[in-house]
Structure 1
């Protein structure tokens, strides 16, 4: 079995493609079981707004790619131009770079490490991790920690949440008079809420599928002296026109905000602008909304220019980080290659042990017959020596030319013979 990473990310595929191969986090466990039934002996799936990647041990990566297209009901030709496939050491290097923030849209951003760890936990709970992937991810998180500790890769990093605030300020200037709506209550929304709360908007509302989780986040915001409340997603159409800023990030597989809802809100607002940030993949907002007047809609791909601020210093740190990654890849591959020799070593030990048992049994029978222990031990040692040396001696005698010379050098190395 070989190690492979198969996937798409923000550098190879636009959001229109990424949203079609994204996985629902609640269904990841069952998806992993399907993948291991389709040619992968071990598997983990990393699915975020910027990437979908299969980490698997398999002899045929094409089977994993076929499964990916079938799972999402896509034609293989439709996603093939955007797919990358990394084998063995390239796969290891990619995993190390992803977890360290070197492959992120925001160079050095820390959120990806938490997302990676969560994906690995899901795979572990699903029972789809074996020795290879377990070792890979253990080393991956160690490398990420080393990079964070020994470089400034995360310094001056502007997150998606901070970028959303920056863009909102470009539209409204001071956002102290704006009403902000957050759709969802996950980690990304919490980060965005913290950044917007620092600007003291007029009010902040959390719309979520369940009122309890939304209320918990609203209470946290209220503790900062900002008027806040929670509401159910089902109530959104009736109140959507009240909000000036909308930030959404849910795990919904279908759009939550449709064109009709926004058109109705624009009329009710008498064409006062609405700033919208869709951080979800698949998207929460129908893409046609971007064509409306008085609507400023940004997706995760649109934020790339804003988050590039301060990238110069992080690029210098990235060079140091890449050196750490390269060294750790080499170390991991040494373990990986040694792992391939394990079956041969076991077979050799089993064969030698069988010889030892056979000769020991003969010696015990001779002792039981009353033969001299000294003679029995001498015979045992000679028999074992002859049996152990028979195969290499026979191979050396049967070889010729370059093959003989190579075999002779190998035997000298194995038996530490100086000549």
Structure 2
């Protein structure tokens, strides 16, 4: 750290006079030590519990609106099938936990027991590792970065994403792209969608001849369907979506069949395999739908679960959820483990750059305050000279001398007032202005 940095960061009060002190004050809540992440993920909770704390768009909107009322206005929520995390500035991680529990269906006490929190640089590193797939349930899962981008974009649209978080998210996006192109961490095909393909291969060797229903044609549903077509060669897939046109458009692109949402039960009963990726707030696929149906495999890709747990109790139905899918191993996964050190090195490099930007930004605030103070003194002295009788251009020399003397008096006064720090102040001033004076 330079002498200038030490002076302004450790003892900003050396220039604390009038408007300078006011301008130099920075919101304490935006100090890096007050940047936190709180959340739950697959490491400590199963999919059923995670579903209780999942945040849908309506809840996200409400959370941000309430956050502003309690002076929390720089944060975003990441809610996926594997985690729900809240990133932002607050006096304490507990403030963020309170926000999370307020908008979700889970118990506050349970959340306190299950949740983790990280602060400062540890929280920053966590976001880098999440965004690059290092913290994913399936190592190297690249879909997470799009979810982070969308979560931050939503918060920004609600004016709840400050310059720190926006810069951090952009850095994470950049690092994720670098790791994808410069390492093998995301090479091969390993994702929840592909794990579904592996599961279907194991349970249904003759999958090409099975009738499949896909309920929900969102991103996960589309990716899963594309993987089934590409890797399994399936053709008998019926798409069902609440918005019929979405299903119709996707079906038209891939030569598939679609049906209206009102026909969901009859279509599922006639199917051999049902994939559920509907992301409804509560189960829409019920045990009563299958009491008289033929045997079938049902895979629930949704968080919270969209398939009633009682479906799994039916003897003729096999029910699989996202946690079970994550256990599907592939040789690609082992290859990715060898790429982790390379990914961590890239994160270290870019995190250091981000932290340097953060520190320089803090210095820039102080330096601007100093500049403003000098400008204030300069303007006042010029105005006083103009107000006097007989103002002349040659009087500028006298004005300049007074400005210099006022700055010397300002610093000298602070040195005299805080005698216990006077030696440090003088040493730093000497260093800053490079006077060449040798001090004993």
C-alpha separation between the residues in 2 aligned to 1:63 and 1:344? 29
Deviation at 1:387, TM superposition (A): 0.8
- SS of aligned partner of 1:5: strand
Cα distance in 2 for partners of 1:312, 1:410 equals 54
Deviations 1:149-182 (A, max 9, x none): 2211111241212211211221221312111110
**CA deviation after TM superposition for structure 1 residue 27, in Å:** 4.8
Residue pair 1:32, 1:45 contacting (<8 A) in 2 also = no
In 2, Cα distance between the equivalents of 1:231 and 1:202?
A: 15
Q: How does 1:205-224 map to 2 (within 5 A)?
A: 205-222=238-255
Match of 2:423 among 364, 385, 405: 405
Confirm whether residue 204 of structure 1 aligns to residue 204 of structure 2: no
Structure 1 residues 309, 25: CA separation in 2 closer, same or farther (over 3 Å shift)? farther
Please give the alpha-carbon distance, in whole angstroms, between the structure 1 residues aligned to 2:154 and 2:419.
Answer: 56
Structure 1 match to 2:201: 169
Kept after mapping to 1: 8 A contact 2:62/2:103: no
Change (3 A) 1:307 1:279: farther
TM superposition score normalised by structure 2: 0.85
Equivalent residues of 2:300, 2:320 under 8 A apart: yes
What is aligned with 1:380? 399
What is the distance in 1 between the residues matched to 2:57 and 2:411? 56
- Of residues 259, 273, 277, the one that matches 1:231 is 259
Q: How many angstroms apart in 2 are the aligned matches of 1:122 and 1:395?
A: 47
CA contact (8 A) 2:193 2:223 kept: yes
Hey, what does 1:264 align to over in structure 2?
Answer: 292
Change (3 A) 1:95 1:260: same
**How many angstroms apart in 1 are the aligned matches of 2:380 and 2:149?**
51
The alignment status of 1:291 with 2:291, answered yes or no, reads no
Report the Cα distance in structure 1 between the residues aligned to 2:164 and 2:170, rounded to whole angstroms.
10
**Structure 1, residues 39-96: CA drift from partner, whole Å, max 9, x if none?**
4122222211111122223334322211211212443211112212222322221222
1:255 aligns with 2:288: no
Following the alignment from structure 1 to structure 2, what is the Cα–Cα distance between the partners of residues 38 and 295?
Answer: 48
Question: Is the alpha carbon distance of 1:415 and 1:356 closer, same or farther for their aligned partners in structure 2, counting shifts above 3 Å?
Answer: same
Q: Secondary structure at the match of 1:301?
A: helix
Tell me, yes or no, if structure 1 residue 369 matches structure 2 residue 390. yes
- How far is 1:370 from its partner? 6.0
Aligned-residue offset at 1:400? 4.8
State the Cα distance separating 1:398 from its structure 2 match: 4.9
- The separation in 2 between residues aligned to 1:413 and 1:234, in whole angstroms, is 78
For residue 327 of structure 1, report the CA deviation from its aligned partner: 1.9
Contact 2:228-2:234 within 8 A present in 1 as well: yes
Q: In structure 1, how many angstroms separate the alpha carbons of the residues matched to 2:362 and 2:391?
A: 47
- Once residues 390 and 21 of structure 1 are traced to their aligned partners in structure 2, the CA distance between those partners, rounded to angstroms, is 59
- Mapped contact 1:180–1:246 kept (Cα < 8 A): yes
CA contact (8 A) 2:217 2:239 kept: yes
- The answer on whether the counterparts of 1:185 and 1:214 sit within 8 Å (CA) in structure 2 is yes
Q: Secondary structure at the match of 1:154?
A: coil
Separation of aligned partners in 2, 1:365 and 1:79: 68
Residue of structure 1 equivalent to 2:341: 319
Q: What 5-or-longer segments of structure 2 have no aligned partner?
A: 1-28
Q: Compared with structure 1, are the counterparts of its residues 369 and 201 closer, same or farther at alpha carbon in structure 2 (3 Å cutoff)?
A: closer
Find the counterpart in structure 2 of residue 132 from structure 1.
Answer: 164
User: What is the aligned partner in structure 2 of residue 349 from structure 1?
Assistant: 371
**8 Å CA contact 2:207, 2:234 repeated in 1:** yes
Return 5+ residue gaps in structure 1 as ranges.
223-227
Aligned pair 1:183/2:215, yes or no?
Answer: yes
Question: Given the superposition, is the C-alpha separation of residues 336 and 296 from structure 1 closer, same or farther in structure 2, using an over 3 Å criterion?
Answer: same
Aligned residue pair count: 404
Per-residue CA deviation, residues 234-291 of structure 1 (Å, 9 max, x unaligned), is 32222322111111111200101112223332xxx2xx3x112111000111122223
Matched, 1:330 2:355: no
Q: Deviations over 1:369-414 (max 9, x none)?
A: 267x54x33322321121111132233345556x343223222222
The 1:8–1:158 alpha-carbon spacing in structure 2 relative to 1, beyond 3 Å, is same
SS of alignment partner, residue 188 of structure 2: coil
TM-score (norm 1): 0.89
| CA positional deviation for 1:309 | 3.9
Distance 2:330 2:45 in 1: 19
Secondary structure of 1:297's counterpart equals: strand
Cα distance in 2, alignment partners of residues 152 and 221 from structure 1: 30
User: Relative to structure 1, is the Cα distance of residues 308 and 127 closer, same or farther in structure 2, using a 3 angstrom cutoff?
Assistant: farther
Aligned to 1:85, what secondary structure does the other structure show? strand
Residue of structure 1 equivalent to 2:409: 390
CA shift for structure 1 position 336: 2.0
CA RMSD of aligned residues (A): 2.2
